């Protein structure tokens, strides 16, 4: 569903290599966790995968469509929830959702059904008439979740989706991520909350300093180290085990 090949991205005229030759394949129907310490390159990778940033080199393929040469088809298959929600302050929630629905060509009835389901699920139905600038971080996050799911994306990508969510909403989100995959779709999300990755993911990749240091199911990654927690594994592989 998602193929990342030899992906490289630098900032500051090449001084910071945020993504340093990443290769990764995410299969249809799986929840894939992208974990790593702060500054590891998770957000940069996600911005490349969603076509927000252009890579220095390498390629991204979404459901067989190359992000560089077929961006409309590739992006149309993605629902993206970013980690910050700064824009669109003067739109109301409903205006924002309609704007996104128009961009993705979501039919009226489908849109109505999606909004009814997700606004209820994330408990923001009462707020959709208000401008986004009045929303808390959690409310914006929940609006972004709704917007990303409206067109039933085959590939749902989320950057640190649980940050700032209350336990109820976090629970609803995790359940929805699993339901989305059970419906034949794919979820790719970044997190530094290891318990979440441990409970939710079919497979994970650990990124450190722009490089993938491990990829596989948790059982595969623990091979030879029976009973090791993801935290132990993470600390060992990201070179911080001595500090613990």
Interface residues toward Mg ion, by CB under 5 A: 42-43
| Helix axes of 137-149 and 93-103: crossing angle, nearest 10 degrees | 30
**How far apart are CB 43 and Mg ion at their closest, in Å?**
3
Q: What is the DSSP letter of 232?
A: H
Residue 64's binding partner, choosing from Mg ion, ligand ADP, none, with beta-carbon cut-off 5 to 8 A by kind? none
Tell me the β-bridge partners of 211.
208
Residue 41's binding partner, choosing from Mg ion, ligand ADP, none, with beta-carbon cut-off 5 to 8 A by kind? ligand ADP
> Whose Cβ is closer to ligand ADP: residue 178's or residue 211's?
211
> Whose Cβ is closer to ligand ADP: residue 70's or residue 211's?
211
Residue 2's binding partner, choosing from Mg ion, ligand ADP, none, with beta-carbon cut-off 5 to 8 A by kind? none
**How far is the first Cα of the chain from the last one, in angstroms, to the nearest whole number?**
37
**How far apart are CB 90 and ligand ADP at their closest, in Å?**
25
Q: What is the DSSP letter of 154?
A: S
CA 70 to chain CA mean position, Å = 21
**How far apart are CB 237 and ligand ADP at their closest, in Å?**
15
Q: Are 234 and 194 in contact (CB under 8 A)?
A: yes
Cα distance between residue 6 and residue 136, in whole Å: 38
Cα distance between residue 81 and residue 237, in whole Å: 28
> Whose Cβ is closer to Mg ion: residue 42's or residue 203's?
42
Residue 69's binding partner, choosing from ligand ADP, Mg ion, none, with beta-carbon cut-off 5 to 8 A by kind? none
**How far apart are CB 46 and ligand ADP at their closest, in Å?**
8
Cα distance between residue 239 and residue 244, in whole Å: 11
DSSP strand E in 83-241: where?
155-159, 186-191, 203-208, 211-216
Residue 12's binding partner, choosing from Mg ion, ligand ADP, none, with beta-carbon cut-off 5 to 8 A by kind? ligand ADP
Binding positions for ligand ADP, rule: CB under 6 A: 11-12, 16, 18, 36, 38-44
**How far apart are CB 41 and ligand ADP at their closest, in Å?**
4
> Whose Cβ is closer to Mg ion: residue 42's or residue 180's?
42
Q: How many residues make up the chain in this entry?
A: 244
């Amino acid at each position: 569903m998602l193929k990342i090949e030899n992906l490289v991205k630098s900032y500051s005229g090449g001084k910071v290599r945020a993504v340093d030759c990443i290769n990764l394949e995410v299969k249809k129907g799986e929840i894939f966790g992208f974990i790593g310490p702060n500054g590891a390159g998770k957000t940069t990778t996600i911005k490349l995968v969603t076509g927000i940033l252009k890579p220095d080199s390498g390629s991204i393929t979404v459901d067989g469509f190359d992000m560089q040469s077929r961006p409309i088809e590739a992006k149309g298959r993605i629902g993206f929830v970013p980690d910050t929600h700064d824009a669109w302050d003067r739109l109301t929630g409903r205006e924002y959702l309609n704007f996104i629905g128009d961009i993705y060509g979501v039919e009226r009835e489908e849109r109505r059904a999606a909004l009814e389901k997700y606004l209820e699920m994330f408990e923001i139905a009462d707020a959709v008439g208000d401008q986004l600038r009045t929303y808390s971080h959690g409310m914006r996050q929940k609006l972004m979740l709704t917007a990303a799911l409206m067109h039933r994306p085959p590939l749902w990508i989320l950057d640190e989706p649980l940050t700032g969510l209350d336990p109820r909403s976090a629970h609803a989100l995790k359940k929805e991520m699993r339901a989305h995959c059970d419906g034949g779709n794919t979820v790719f999300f970044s997190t530094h909350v290891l318990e979440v990755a441990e409970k939710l993911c079919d497979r994970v990749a650990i990124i450190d300093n722009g490089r993938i240091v491990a990829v596989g199911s948790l059982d595969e990654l623990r091979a030879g180290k029976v009973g090791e927690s993801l935290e132990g594994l993470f600390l060992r592989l990201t070179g911080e085990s001595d500090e613990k």
